[in-house]
């Protein structure tokens, strides 16, 4: 199985916590970017037939409808099983959503982040909670039957009651999927520089536990550290990443892993347009490194992974010591994170790479 990721690097405004490569308005080079993207798509390997497509960014729903109309035919030759697009509630309308549906998009990921006014302000989002709810209802009205909501918890000033209210409002919409991430303080991001009082770790852990119990009680399957789905609605594109599958990323700053080679496109729109596109990083992974990476990605899934006999030997000591600490559950050579480890998974992964 393989996947195609497309990076649209335009946003209306930068959110305060964002570390993704994206350009706030006013934008330059939009037509040149889409021309470059068309070329890169045309030059994909002839034996590349992605089963999933994921358009992210940036804000794929930010460009105007005329621009999106010129982009849509570039993807017509693909026949993915799952075709996801990220949408920002501040940039969608009925016409754009209808165009996405007509273009074959069958999964929408709406970046809500929070329904709380104060949290939205702190995160620097461009939309209100009401706009997020309206975007969701519009997407349903247009015919989307697979919608994910992206949320963030652990925002400075957020209380457990505010989180409960976010969960209530998310569940009231009846999405098929919810991704909820603990806020990261990225180096250089405006939110990090503001030095607001952060929530303590115990509070964040309590919040994570509350999220898990509320969403599971509502019929969601907790299938990855930060991802919850109604049965059958797990994100196939992300499952591909978590199971060591191959993918090609197009657009500036997009990452690829194809035929054993990993690379990243240049993180600059102008450079991307003129160099068409230049790789700013490329490496061939040794099989041992690749296996360890796949193991760690696989452990993100709550179902865990079966470890090969080749990898078991050098890692057995680490596995056993993590098991003793109550962080791994081991059955034969099948390994999974324990409930206790879910909130501190990065520390567990650091022991295994």
- Whole-angstrom Cα distance, residue 171 to residue 6? 29
Residue 226 engages ligand SF4 in binding (rule: CB under 6 A): no
Length of the chain: 353
3-class secondary-structure state, position 298: helix
Instruction: Tell me the number of residues near ligand SF4 by CB under 6 A.
Output: 10
Q: Which of 4, 6, 8, 11 binds ligand SF4 (CB under 6 A)?
A: 11
Q: Are 237 and 3 in contact (CB under 8 A)?
A: yes
Cβ 285 to ligand SF4 shortest distance, Å: 28
Cβ 25 to ligand SF4 shortest distance, Å: 11
Cβ 57 to ligand SF4 shortest distance, Å: 5
Residue 15 engages ligand SF4 in binding (rule: CB under 6 A): yes
- Whole-angstrom Cα distance, residue 152 to residue 112? 8
* 3-class SS shares of the chain: helix, strand, coil, % to 5: 40, 20, 35
Strands (E), 78-214: 82-87, 107-113, 147-153, 177-182
- Whole-angstrom Cα distance, residue 57 to residue 251? 9
Residue 158 engages ligand SF4 in binding (rule: CB under 6 A): no
Q: Which of 36, 37, 41, 59 binds ligand SF4 (CB under 6 A)?
A: 59
- Residue closer to ligand SF4 by CB (options 90, 245) is 90
Residue 252 engages ligand SF4 in binding (rule: CB under 6 A): no
- Whole-angstrom Cα distance, residue 268 to residue 289? 29
- Whole-angstrom Cα distance, residue 322 to residue 261? 31
Cβ 20 to ligand SF4 shortest distance, Å: 4
Which of 229, 245, 232, 233 minimizes the C-alpha distance to 3? 245
The footprint of ligand SF4 on residues 192-211 (CB under 6 A) is none
Cβ 35 to ligand SF4 shortest distance, Å: 22
Place of tokens 């969608």: 92
Cβ 217 to ligand SF4 shortest distance, Å: 29
Cα separations in angstroms, 190 against 9, 17, 20, 115, 124 = 19, 6, 13, 21, 10
Cβ 186 to ligand SF4 shortest distance, Å: 10
Residue 14 engages ligand SF4 in binding (rule: CB under 6 A): yes
- Residue closer to ligand SF4 by CB (options 8, 327) is 8
Cβ 295 to ligand SF4 shortest distance, Å: 29
- Residue closer to ligand SF4 by CB (options 20, 48) is 20
- Residue closer to ligand SF4 by CB (options 84, 294) is 84
Residue 57 engages ligand SF4 in binding (rule: CB under 6 A): yes
- Whole-angstrom Cα distance, residue 313 to residue 186? 36
Q: Which of 22, 61, 103, 238 binds ligand SF4 (CB under 6 A)?
A: 22
Cβ 194 to ligand SF4 shortest distance, Å: 16
Q: Which of 3, 36, 50, 58 binds ligand SF4 (CB under 6 A)?
A: 58
Centre a 10 Å sphere on the Cβ of residue 321 and count the other Cβ atoms it contains.
12
The footprint of ligand SF4 on residues 81-100 (CB under 6 A) is 88
Q: Which residues contact 116 (CB under 8 A, 6 or more apart)?
A: 129, 158, 162, 165, 166
Residue 238 engages ligand SF4 in binding (rule: CB under 6 A): no
Return residues touching ligand SF4 (CB under 6 A). Answer: 11, 14-15, 18, 20, 22, 57-59, 88
């Amino acid at each position: 199985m393989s996947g195609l990721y497309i990076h649209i690097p335009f946003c209306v405004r930068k959110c305060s916590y964002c570390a993704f490569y994206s350009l706030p308005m006013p934008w330059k080079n939009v037509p040149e970017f889409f021309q470059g993207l068309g070329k890169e798509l045309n030059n994909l390997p002839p034996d590349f037939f992605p089963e999933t497509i994921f358009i992210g960014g940036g804000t794929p729903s930010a460009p105007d409808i005329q621009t999106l109309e010129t982009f849509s035919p570039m993807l017509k030759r693909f026949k993915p099983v799952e075709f996801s697009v990220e949408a920002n509630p501040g940039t969608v309308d009925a016409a754009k959503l209808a165009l996405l549906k007509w273009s074959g998009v069958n999964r929408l990921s709406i970046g809500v982040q929070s329904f709380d006014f104060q949290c939205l302000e702190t995160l620097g989002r461009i939309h209100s909670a009401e706009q997020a709810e309206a975007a969701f209802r519009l997407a349903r009205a247009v015919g989307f039957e697979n919608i994910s909501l992206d949320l963030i918890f652990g925002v400075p000033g957020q209380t457990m009651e505010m989180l409960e209210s976010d969960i209530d409002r998310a569940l009231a919409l009846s999405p098929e999927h919810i991704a909820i991430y603990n806020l990261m303080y990225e180096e250089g991001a405006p939110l990090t520089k503001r030095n607001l009082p952060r929530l303590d770790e115990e509070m964040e852990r309590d919040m994570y536990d509350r999220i898990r119990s509320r969403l599971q009680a509502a019929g969601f399957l907790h299938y990855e550290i930060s991802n919850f789905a109604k049965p059958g609605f797990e994100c196939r594109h992300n499952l591909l990443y978590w199971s060591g599958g191959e993918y090609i990323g197009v657009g500036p700053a997009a990452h690829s892993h194809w035929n054993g080679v990993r690379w990243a496109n240049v993180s600059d729109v102008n450079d991307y347009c003129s160099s068409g596109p230049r790789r700013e990083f490329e490496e061939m992974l040794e099989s041992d490194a690749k296996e360890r990476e796949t193991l760690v990605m696989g452990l993100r899934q709550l179902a865990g992974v079966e470890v090969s006999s080749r990898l078991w030997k050098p890692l057995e000591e680490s596995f056993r010591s993590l098991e003793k600490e109550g962080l791994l559950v081991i059955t034969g050579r099948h390994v999974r994170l324990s409930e206790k480890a879910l909130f501190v998974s990065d520390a567990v992964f650091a022991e295994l790479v």
